[in-house]
A and B are shown apart, each in its own frame.
Chain A
Amino acid sequence: MSSSSSSVPKQPLSGWGRYPLVDSYLQRPEKVSSLTKIIQTAENKPVLARGAGRSYGDAAICPSCTIITERLNRMLAFDEESGILACETGVTIKEIVEIFSPRGWFLAVTPGTKFVTVGGAIAFDVHGKNHYRDGSFSRHVCNLKLMLASGEVVQCSSQENSDLFWATVGGMGLTGIIMEVEIALRPIQTAYIKAKSIKAKNLDETLALFEEYEPQYQYSVAWIDCLASGQSLGRSRLSFGSHAAIADLNQEQQAAPLKLKPKPSCKVPFDFPAGLLNRYTMSCFNAFYYHRQRSWQVQSVVDYDSFFYPLDFLRDWNRLYGKRGFIQYQCVFPTEVSREALVRVLQLCAQKGWGTFLAVLKRLGSQEGWLSFPTPGFTLALDMPIKPGLERFLVQLDRLVIEYGGRVYLAKDARLSPEAFRSMYPHFLRWLEVKSQIDPYNRFSSAMSKRLQIESAKERIKV
């Protein structure tokens, strides 16, 4: 794969977890016509779109030609009546919320960081803290335009070319390049969230509180101290919230209910030494976080940034895990077995000391995309630094996830096996049929798709 039009050397590329690092040729078109040209002249070289590189593993890397979409970020139309925004897919969540929240509109679904692109949000069909109610990102996509391997652009939606649509949302960039989308924003009265924070002593209490408060709030999430064990196994801080009405705000906030003052952010200036985030520092941090909130319940009105994107205040926080990087292991368990499965995962973590910072627990509902991650149940995300023994531990977790009929989120993955992937994603074959039709020669390919052996049937016959 050494032939490239320019003399520029390959550059090492990774995801947010900084593992793995793969040398890749980069392109960064600033015009639609340049993108078409790249696709049409790259002959048979594999290509792939890359958004903000906020997926954790190897999903957004293609060694022969990774196409960065950041400069294709034009907003093309906005309907003030319906709140429908047409834009190119390099537009970020940050741009959308910053431009439209002062005008009374917000995204219906947002992930936990605003530094991702619309393209990335669709290609992994991302979920927010309201999946249970509102579905994932694709549910609010009215239609999208996809550039196929031929350079031809096809429009699709849940109504039109729907097979292509359900293969593309959650399709990890492997069906083509999503060029433009129309997404429906949701009206808000204020830029604030009426939030309730509750502490739970253990897992049963945590799950019971989800049941109790979910009907009253739009958003819910829990941070579990996964290093706590015994009686405290699964102790957590739950956070619920709903978009605040004007009446919920204090006087100062009411003066400009949709405007937020810019807040300073800080940056991790260098790579931390690898061993710094270890079991002891982590459990201290987790205990501190858990006990910091003194009373069992706190009610407050917070701005949307603090509620949805708490980590964005610390830029480059992935450097805390050192040069070797880290893995975020996010899995979901079906509702019926959630409790049992979570107990086993948390026990394993506490025993082996593998869970690190607070683990995030969210509720998911059902989702239509064929490779979309969400399925009804509870999802847990654990951050773990790369070090010897990790893979053995994760394989154990994989087995447990498969045993309970769950799955691992590929947006966070860097090491799952092809077999494990196939047992977790039952609609894969259906997806593969569409892929084989529109991209028989696997022009769209990534380090992840190679690893998981996600390839068109025709190609496999040919080899």
Chain B
Amino acid sequence: MKEAVLVVGATSSIARSLASKMGQQGTALHLAARDRFEVERIAKDIAIRYQVPVSWSIFDALDRDSHADLLQKALDHLDRLDGVAVFLGELGNQEKAQREFDCAEQIIHSNYTGVASILTHAANYLEKQRHGFIICLSSVAGDRGRQSNYVYGAAKGALSLFLQGLRNRLAKSNVRVLTVKPGFVDTKMTFGKSGMFLMAKPEQVASAVIRALQKNKLVVYVPWFWFWIMLIIRSIPEFLFKRLSL
């Protein structure tokens, strides 16, 4: 029987691209997002193009009580679950987050607390069935704190650590955890923003994620050269780094 995957944050164009590629391979999908109108369209699109079952449901990262239900809904539709891919994230407004902590908190919830909550439910289910995978989108921004986006970066950094610990915990249960750290990707999160360079297409990221999954990678930078860029950025001593305007 074919695989079944739950995609959380399915209105991200990286998520849509990944779901499409999985659909093309025959994977049954359950898409979850907070935008009812859009997630339904994306579900229809993938079902028509690749002739696979695609169901959808509504989900808000900030409404943590509903997260257990989400897993149940996915199971109701799919009958089985081989993997969970989580694309939730919000760049937010760093300047505003510095002035108003409510705004910072929202960024932390969308990128970390809400994601950790969903990951906890997914991990518990997959651990019990002793099989499956988790894909989660973190970011290179989580590798080092920078003044221009440290609230987002800190949430992503925490998420990367959370995933690392989860991978360690789930290793003995035959559940794989793949941390994806993209550089800049050409999506609605970044469109029209200044200071973007080496922009990757969502399809490129999706292909890299599929390849990484097939090769049993644990942490993947996409495109690959971000590994080297971040290696350099991480190796700059803090006393120098604090003076840079990054």
Which residues of A come within 8 Å of B, CB atoms?
A: 6-8, 26-34, 71, 74-78, 88, 95, 99
Contacts and interface: CB of A to CB of B under 8 A. Distances in A.
Interface string B36-55: 01100110110011000000
B45 A28 contact: no
Residue from A26, A28, A74, A99 whose CB has the most chain B CB atoms within 10 Å: A74
Contacts of B35: 31, 33
Residue from B11, B13, B42, B192 whose CB has the most chain A CB atoms within 10 Å: B192
A78 B13 contact: no
Nearest to A73: B45
Given A31-B35, A31-B38, A32-B37, A26 B192 contact: yes
A76 B193 contact: no
A76 B41 contact: yes
B187 interface: yes
Residue from B44, B187, B193 whose CB has the most chain A CB atoms within 10 Å: B44
Contacts of B37: 31-33
Nearest to B202: A71
Contacts of A95: 49
B194 A77 contact: no
Nearest to A8: B192
Contacts of B194: 7-8
Contacts of A26: 192
Nearest to B48: A75
A30 B48 contact: no
B188 interface: yes
B193 A74 contact: no
A99 B44 contact: no
Given A28-B191, A29-B188, A31-B37, 13 more contacts: A8-B193, A8-B194, A28-B188, A30-B13, A30-B187, A31-B11, A31-B35, A33-B35, A71-B188, A75-B49, A76-B41, A76-B45, A99-B49
B11 A71 contact: no
Nearest 6 A-B pairs (CB), nearest first? A74-B45, A75-B48, A74-B41, A8-B192, A30-B188, A6-B192
A29 B42 CA distance: 14
Nearest to B12: A30
Nearest to A75: B48
Contacts of A88: 41
23 contacts: A6-B192, A7-B194, A8-B192, A8-B193, A27-B192, A28-B188, A30-B11, A31-B11, A31-B37, A31-B38, A31-B188, A32-B41, A33-B35, A33-B38, A75-B45, A75-B48, A75-B49, A76-B41, A76-B45, A77-B44, A77-B48, A78-B48, A99-B49
A75 B44 contact: yes
A75 B49 CA distance: 8
Contacts, number: 48
A329 to B, nearest CB: 34
Nearest to A4: B192
Interface in B160-206: 187-188, 191-194
Chain B: interface residue count, which band? 10 to 19
B175 to A, nearest CB: 32
Contacts of B48: 75-78, 99
A34 B37 CA distance: 12
A7 B192 CA distance: 8
Contact of B44 (A27, A29, A34, A74): A74
Nearest to B13: A30
Contacts of B41: 32, 74, 76, 88
B213 to A, nearest CB: 23
Contacts of A28: 188, 191
A99 B35 CA distance: 27
B13 A71 contact: yes
A77 B192 CA distance: 32
Residue from A6, A29, A33, A75 whose CB has the most chain B CB atoms within 10 Å: A75
A31 to B, nearest CB: 5
A129 to B, nearest CB: 27
A353 to B, nearest CB: 42
Contacts of A29: 188
Contacts of A77: 44, 48
A99 to B, nearest CB: 5
B43 to A, nearest CB: 9
B197 to A, nearest CB: 14
A34 B13 CA distance: 14
A30 B12 CA distance: 9
Nearest to A68: B191
Contacts of A6: 192-193
A33 B192 CA distance: 18
A32 B38 contact: yes
A99 B48 CA distance: 9
A7 B195 CA distance: 11
B90 to A, nearest CB: 15
Contacts of B13: 30, 71
A157 B35 CA distance: 30
Contacts of A31: 11, 35, 37-38, 188
Contacts of B44: 74-77
Contacts of B193: 6, 8
A29 B188 CA distance: 8
B161 to A, nearest CB: 30
Nearest to B11: A31
Contacts of B187: 30
Contacts of B38: 31-33
Contacts of A33: 35, 37-38
A66 to B, nearest CB: 12
A95 to B, nearest CB: 8
Contacts of A75: 44-45, 48-49
Contacts of B191: 28
Nearest to B189: A30
Nearest to B42: A74
B92 to A, nearest CB: 16
Nearest to A76: B44
A78 B46 CA distance: 12
Interface string B96-121: 00000000000000000000000000
A30 B188 CA distance: 7
Contacts of A32: 37-38, 41
B91 to A, nearest CB: 14
Nearest to B187: A30
B76 to A, nearest CB: 24
